[in-house]
Structure 1
Amino acid sequence: MSRPRNRWLLPVSLLLALLLALLPLPAVLQPLRPYWLALVVAYWVIEAPETAGLGFAFCIGIVADLMFGSLLGEQALRLTIMAFILQRFRARMRFFPLSQQALVIGALLLNDRIIGTVVHRVLGEPVLPWEYWWAPLLGMLLWPPLFVLMDALRQGRRG
């Protein structure tokens, strides 16, 4: 259970994820940009299910769609699907070691790319080049340190 003094962590982590997604990167690094928002939403769905659920994921996705100027509802759909899968397997996933959790997150981020590609193909929109398929791997590698950092902040641990 989170302490009242750490209530700032959820909104700040979401704001930081949105800002990291908007941060300009060189063209060479752009395909490697992890889906920060999905990583942060995944953390909250796993660790604070009473606060972060499907409605939470949908609303954050709509905000992201509006901020990024993307197809309205696309990120909301992608984040809601991810949150649904995480909610379904949350009880099991919490007992996985971080390395196995990272594999699950990697699979979810890959699934996210597939859903985005299907949505774009159905609507006749351009799809991302193949280089962008490396980002889920980077997100998978970032999951353990992100999880440990967020958990330490949420529980108020130091060092």
Structure 2
Amino acid sequence: MHRTLDDRSMPRVPMALSVLAGFIVLLYPLPAQAVMQRPLLLMMVLIYWLLYQPRYVGVGYAFVLGLLADVFLQQPLGQHSIIWVVTAFLVMVCRRYLLPLSWWRAWLIAALGIIVAGIAQSLWLYPRYLSADGVFAPFIYSSIIAWPLVMCLLHRSHRPQMHDDW
């Protein structure tokens, strides 16, 4: 079987391990008070791969991850998928207009995606956890703060071979 250059550049193992880690964090049982503190690790992993491997990860990938999240969390099918597809589309559009992709531009796109996904999840999936102060749930802040760590860990496991990486 002949492998092309594109086949060798697709980081299958780092993608699979990072998605698995995201699902473990998503599914790990926490007390009701701590649910809103959990960062959106699977969303951050999705955003990273959308930014650095747009050839292999797109809206369809976000849809499948959302369906899997709905199945594993035993929620109605499509709730996470809709939120994640909209977020993936937003990230892909922003990435297209903010090339070359530097560290701060990646953080800006990720923060926008996390805020959009977090507000949608707060309003639609977890309305009982909203405070009277506002819409922002603590997991939005923790996810934005944790993004540089996630990006550095994934970037070390996989060296993008793109002309616009940093």
Q: TM-score band (shorter)? A: 0.7 to 0.9
State yes or no: 1:52 paired with 2:61.
no
**Match of 1:123?**
none
Q: 1:2 to 1:23 in 2, by over 3 A?
A: farther
Instruction: Indicate the RMSD between aligned Cα atoms, in angstroms.
Output: 2.5
What is the DSSP-based 3-state SS (H/G/I as helix, E as strand, rest coil) of the residue aligned with 1:71? coil
Q: 1:65 to 1:106 in 2, by over 3 A?
A: same
Q: 1:51 to 1:128 in 2, by over 3 A?
A: farther
Mapped partners of 1:2, 1:140: distance in 2 = 32
TM-score with structure 1 setting the length? 0.81
Mapped partners of 1:139, 1:3: distance in 2 = 31
Unaligned runs of 5+ in 1: 121-125
**Match of 1:137?**
141
Q: 1:154 to 1:78 in 2, by over 3 A?
A: same
Q: Percent identity?
A: 22
**Match of 2:103?**
97
State yes or no: 1:108 paired with 2:113.
yes
Mapped partners of 1:18, 1:34: distance in 2 = 12
CA drift of 1:102 comes to 3.2
CA drift of 1:103 comes to 4.3
Unaligned runs of 5+ in 2: 1-5, 161-166
Q: Which has the higher helix share?
A: 1
CA deviation string 1:103-141 (max 9, x = no partner): 442332222233235545xxxxx6141267111111001
TM-score with structure 2 setting the length? 0.78
**Match of 2:156?**
152
Task: Report how many aligned residue pairs link the two structures.
Answer: 150
Q: 1:113 to 1:4 in 2, by over 3 A?
A: closer
Task: Write the mapping of 1:1-159 to structure 2, written as runs, cut at 5 A.
Answer: 3=8, 6-91=11-96, 92=98, 95-98=101-104, 101-119=106-124, 127-130=127-130, 133-155=137-159
What is the DSSP-based 3-state SS (H/G/I as helix, E as strand, rest coil) of the residue aligned with 1:70? coil
Mapped partners of 1:106, 1:128: distance in 2 = 24
Residues 34 and 136 in structure 1, CA contact (< 8 A), matched pair in contact too: yes
Mapped partners of 2:117, 2:11: distance in 1 = 30
Q: 1:102 to 1:8 in 2, by over 3 A?
A: same
